[in-house]
C-alpha cells in the first residue's frame, strides 16, 4: 500500500507540474528562474563559506555570495545599496534577454535556411545541364547511363526534380548508381507539373529535358501536365531545349507530342516493351544484344562523317571502317534510313549511322582486302516454319504483345494464352479435341486461344503439358495489381518451368518479363531464353536519345513491327561452318543478302555471364573459326509477303531485280 501511495503522489505531482508548464511561456520562464536560483544561490553560499580567504563578517560573506551568484547568472556583480544591486540585476536581465533573442533569431533563420536547402527548393544556376523530371523505375537507369555517357566527355550537371524528399532521392541514387565522378547530381524537391517549382531547375538553359513516366494509374495525365508546365516556363518559341518524354498508353502519345512542341520526342513504353517481347520469341538472345547495344558501357550508335563515301554506294561504306559497323544513313535534310539497299548512293551532306565505341573510332579504313569470297556460304537459308507459342499471365501490355506476335508469327502458327482471369477471346478446345483441326499452312493469321487456370498455384504450372510448344512467354502482373513485389509470381513460374525442363530433358525457349532489373540474376532461365525488363529498356532508350536526337528514328524502326530489325541468325547462312574467316567476310556475306552485320554470338564453354558470348562491333580483321551453333547479329528487313511466303533480304517497295 505504501509503494502504491508513493507512486500515486509522484504521478500526481508530475501531472501538476506538466500542466503548469503548459499554461504559457511566462510560467515556463518563472520555473526556470526559480530552478536556477534554487541551485546557484546555495552553491555560491557554500563556495563563499568554505573559502578560507572569504570575509569574516556576515555582510561581507553575503556580498561575496551575491557577487558569485550574479556573475554565474550574468546579472551584474555591482554591490552597494539594495537599489544599486536591483538596477544592476535589471540591466543584466535586459542584456540577457537581448542576447538570447538575437541568438534565437539567428538560430531560427539558419535552421529555416538549412531546412529549405534540405527540401531542395533553391534555384539551380546551371547552363547546358540535363534536366530529369519525375521519379519512376527508370530514373536510376537514365541517370546512371547519362553519368556513364559523360564520363568520356566534358561532364555536365544532371538536375533531378521530383515530388519526393531530396535526401531520399540522393540516397537512392547513391545506392543504385554509386560515385558519379566529375558529373554533378543535383536533386530538387517539388511537383514538376507546377510552373513555379519547375522554374527552379532552369529548364530553358538546359541542353535536354527528360520527362519520366510513373507507374501510377494517372501517370500519363501527369506527363501531359508536366509538358504543359514546361511549355509555360520555357515559352512557345523554338529556342527551348529538346524534350524527351515517355507515356504508357498509346492514347496519350498524340497529346503528349502536341504538348512537347516541335523539338519533342515521345516514346510509348508499353508498345516498345511488347515489341521487344515479340521479337525475342523468334530470336533467342536478342535481349542480351539489346542491353549491350543500348548501354554506354560498350559500343553504341553514333553519327560519322561520310565525306569519303560521297557519290559512292552504301555497300562500299559497309567495308569502309575497320573499328565500326555502318548500319544506315542520315540524309542531308535529317531523314534517317536504316539498312538501305547496298546500291544506295551516299549523297553529299549525308552522315553515316555507325555502331562504334565512340566518335573517335569512326575513321574510314578500307577493309575489302580482308574478305575471303571462297568461304562465303551459297544459297538462301531454310525458311522458318510455323510455331506454337504459349503465353502465361496477363497484364496491361498483354494485348499489345499478342498483337505483335500475330503480326510477326509465321502463317499457320498458334498462340495459346493461359491466364488467371477472365479475358474475352476464343476459348481453347478440350484436350481430347485440341488436335482434331490442326492449323494448316494456308492459314492467313495465327490462331489465338484463351484458357483460364489458377496460375498462382505451383501445382498448376507443374502440370502444364509443354511438349507441343516451341516457345513460351511469361508476363508478370502489373505493379498496381498485386503486392509490392510483382516479380515474385514471375520468379515462381520460371522456377516451375526450369523444373519441367529437368523432368523432360528438353530445353524450353522462354521469354519472361520482369519489373525490377535487380531481379534479373534471380530469374532461373537457360542461356537460350531472354529476360525483358521494360523499365530498364525505356531508361536505356531515353538515355541514348538524350545524347543524340537523330537516334529516335533509328530505335523507332528497330522496335517496330515493320522495317529493319535486329536478328540473330545461324552463322552457316553467311560462312561455311568449320571454316576460318574474318568478320569482314561475314559483313560482305550479309551485304549480299541485303543486311548489315554488327556482331556475333559464339556458342561454346566460354558463353558465361554477363555477355553470354555476345560480341558487338568486332574488328573487321578479327579471324575466328565459325561453328554451326554460332550466330551472326544483323540488322535486316525480314518481311512476310502477302502470299505468306518468307523472302529474306527483300525490303518493301523493292523489285526482285533490286534485291541482293
Percent of the chain with pLDDT over 70: 80
Q: What is the pLDDT of residue 626?
A: 93
Q: What is the pLDDT of residue 117?
A: 63
Strands (E), 71-157: 130-133
Query: Averaging pLDDT over each range in 5-9, 147-151, 322-326, 443-447, which range is the top one?
Result: 322-326
CB–CB of 513/475 below 8 Å?
Answer: yes
What gap in Å lies between CA 608 and CA 34, rounded to an integer?
78
Q: What is the pLDDT of residue 119?
A: 66
Exposed, middle or buried by CB within 10 Å (0-12, 13-18, 19+), for 182? exposed
What pLDDT, in 10s, does the model give residues 14-37? 777 777 767 676 676 777 777 777
CB–CB of 298/292 below 8 Å?
Answer: yes
Least confident range of 72-81, 157-166, 650-659: 650-659
Q: What is the pLDDT of residue 3?
A: 45
Per-residue pLDDT for 77 more than 60?
A: no
Per-residue pLDDT for 191 more than 60?
A: yes
What pLDDT, in 10s, does the model give residues 260-298? 888 888 888 888 888 888 888 877 778 888 888 888 777
Summary mean pLDDT of the chain: 80
Which domains, ranges and CATH numbers included, belong to the chain? 37-118 (no CATH), 130-262 (3.40.50.720), 388-430+439-532 (3.40.50.720)
What pLDDT, in 10s, does the model give residues 544-571? 888 888 888 888 888 776 778 888 889 9
Per-residue pLDDT for 444 more than 60?
A: no
Confidence of residue 80 (pLDDT cuts 50, 70, 90): low
What gap in Å lies between CA 136 and CA 493, rounded to an integer?
26
What gap in Å lies between CA 45 and CA 51, rounded to an integer?
10
CB–CB of 199/162 below 8 Å?
Answer: no
Sign of CA dihedral 168, 169, 170, 171: positive
CB–CB of 601/614 below 8 Å?
Answer: yes
Length in residues, the chain: 660
H-type helices in 119-165, by residue range? 139-150
Q: Between residues 273 and 12, which one has the greater pLDDT? A: 273
What gap in Å lies between CA 325 and CA 322, rounded to an integer?
8
Residue 319 CB neighbour total at 10 angstroms: 20
Per-residue pLDDT for 426 more than 60?
A: no
Residue 264 main-chain phi, psi, to 5 deg: -100, 150
* Region label for 226, one of left (φ > 0), alpha (ψ between -120 and 50) or beta (otherwise): alpha
User: How confident is the model over 58-70, as a mean pLDDT?
Assistant: 76
Amino acid at each position: 500500500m505504501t509503494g502504491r501511495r508513493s507512486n500515486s503522489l509522484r504521478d500526481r505531482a508530475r501531472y501538476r507540474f506538466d500542466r503548469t508548464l503548459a499554461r504559457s511561456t511566462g510560467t515556463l520562464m518563472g520555473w526556470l528562474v526559480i530552478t536556477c536560483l534554487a541551485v546557484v544561490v546555495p552553491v555560491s553560499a557554500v563556495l563563499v563559506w568554505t573559502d578560507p580567504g572569504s570575509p569574516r563578517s556576515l555582510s561581507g560573506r553575503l556580498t561575496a555570495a551575491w557577487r558569485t551568484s550574479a556573475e554565474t547568472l550574468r546579472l551584474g556583480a555591482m554591490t552597494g545599496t539594495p537599489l544599486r544591486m536591483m538596477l544592476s540585476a535589471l540591466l543584466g536581465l535586459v542584456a540577457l534577454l537581448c542576447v538570447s533573442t538575437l541568438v534565437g533569431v539567428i538560430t531560427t533563420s539558419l535552421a529555416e535556411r538549412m531546412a529549405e536547402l534540405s527540401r531542395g527548393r533553391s534555384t539551380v544556376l546551371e547552363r547546358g545541364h540535363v534536366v530529369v523530371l519525375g521519379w519512376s523505375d527508370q530514373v536510376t537507369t537514365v541517370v546512371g547511363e547519362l553519368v556513364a555517357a559523360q564520363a568520356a566527355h566534358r561532364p555536365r550537371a544532371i538536375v533531378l526534380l521530383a515530388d519526393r524528399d531530396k535526401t531520399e532521392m540522393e540516397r537512392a541514387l547513391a545506392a543504385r548508381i554509386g560515385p558519379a565522378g566529375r558529373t554533378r547530381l543535383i536533386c530538387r524537391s517539388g511537383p514538376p507539373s507546377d510552373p513555379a517549382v519547375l522554374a527552379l531547375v532552369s529548364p530553358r538553359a538546359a541542353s535536354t529535358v527528360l520527362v519520366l513516366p510513373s507507374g501510377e494509374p494517372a501517370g500519363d495525365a501527369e506527363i501531359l501536365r508536366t509538358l504543359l508546365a514546361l511549355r509555360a516556363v520555357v515559352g512557345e518559341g523554338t529556342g527551348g531545349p529538346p524534350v524527351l518524354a515517355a507515356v504508357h498508353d498509346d492514347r496519350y502519345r498524340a497529346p503528349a507530342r502536341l504538348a512537347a512542341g516541335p523539338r519533342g520526342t515521345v516514346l510509348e513504353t508499353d508498345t516498345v516493351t511488347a515489341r521487344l517481347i515479340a521479337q525475342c520469341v523468334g530470336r533467342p538472345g536478342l535481349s542480351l544484344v539489346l542491353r549491350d547495344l543500348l548501354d554506354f558501357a560498350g559500343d553504341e550508335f553514333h553519327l560519322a562523317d561520310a565525306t569519303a563515301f560521297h557519290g559512292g554506294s552504301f555497300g562500299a561504306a559497309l567495308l569502309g571502317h575497320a573499328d565500326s559497323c555502318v548500319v544506315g544513313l542520315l540524309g542531308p535534310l535529317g531523314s534517317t534510313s536504316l539498312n538501305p539497299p547496298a546500291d544506295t548512293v551516299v549523297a553529299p551532306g549525308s552522315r553515316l549511322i555507325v555502331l562504334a565505341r565512340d566518335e573517335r573510332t569512326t575513321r574510314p579504313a578500307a577493309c575489302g582486302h580482308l574478305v575471303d569470297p571462297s568461304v562465303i556460304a551459297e544459297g538462301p537459308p531454310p525458311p522458318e516454319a510455323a510455331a506454337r507459342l504459349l503465353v502465361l499471365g496477363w497484364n496491361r501490355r498483354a494485348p499489345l504483345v499478342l498483337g505483335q506476335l500475330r503480326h510477326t508469327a509465321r502463317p499457320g502458327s498458334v498462340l495459346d494464352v493461359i491466364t488467371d482471369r477472365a479475358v474475352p477471346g476464343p476459348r481453347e478446345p478440350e484436350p481430347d479435341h485440341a488436335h482434331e483441326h490442326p492449323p494448316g499452312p494456308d492459314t492467313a493469321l495465327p490462331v489465338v486461344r484463351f484458357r483460364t487456370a489458377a496460375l498462382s498455384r505451383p501445382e498448376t504450372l507443374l502440370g502444364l503439358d509443354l511438349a507441343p510448344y516451341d516457345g513460351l512467354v511469361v508476363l508478370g502482373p502489373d505493379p498496381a495489381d498485386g503486392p509490392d513485389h510483382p516479380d515474385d509470381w514471375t520468379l515462381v513460374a520460371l522456377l516451375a518451368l526450369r523444373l519441367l525442363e529437368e523432368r523432360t530433358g528438353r530445353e524450353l525457349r522462354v521469354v519472361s518479363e520482369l519489373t525490377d532489373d535487380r531481379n534479373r540474376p534471380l530469374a532461373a532461365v537457360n542461356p537460350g531464353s531472354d529476360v525483358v525488363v521494360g523499365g530498364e529498356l525505356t531508361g536505356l532508350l531515353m538515355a541514348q536519345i538524350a545524347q543524340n536526337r537523330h537516334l529516335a528514328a533509328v530505335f523507332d524502326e528497330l522496335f517496330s513491327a515493320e522495317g529493319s530489325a535486329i536478328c540473330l541468325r545461324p552463322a552457316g547462312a553467311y560462312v561455311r561452318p568449320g571454316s576460318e574467316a574474318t568478320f569482314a567476310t561475314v559483313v560482305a556475306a550479309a551485304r549480299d543478302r541485303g543486311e548489315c552485320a554488327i556482331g556475333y554470338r559464339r556458342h561454346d564453354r566460354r558463353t558465361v555471364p554477363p555477355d553470354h558470348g555476345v560480341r558487338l562491333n568486332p574488328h573487321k580483321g578479327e579471324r575466328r573459326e565459325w561453328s554451326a551453333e554460332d550466330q551472326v547479329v544483323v540488322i535486316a528487313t525480314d518481311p512476310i509477303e502477302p502470299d505468306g511466303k518468307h523472302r529474306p533480304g527483300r525490303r518493301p517497295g523493292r523489285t526482285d531485280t533490286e534485291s541482293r
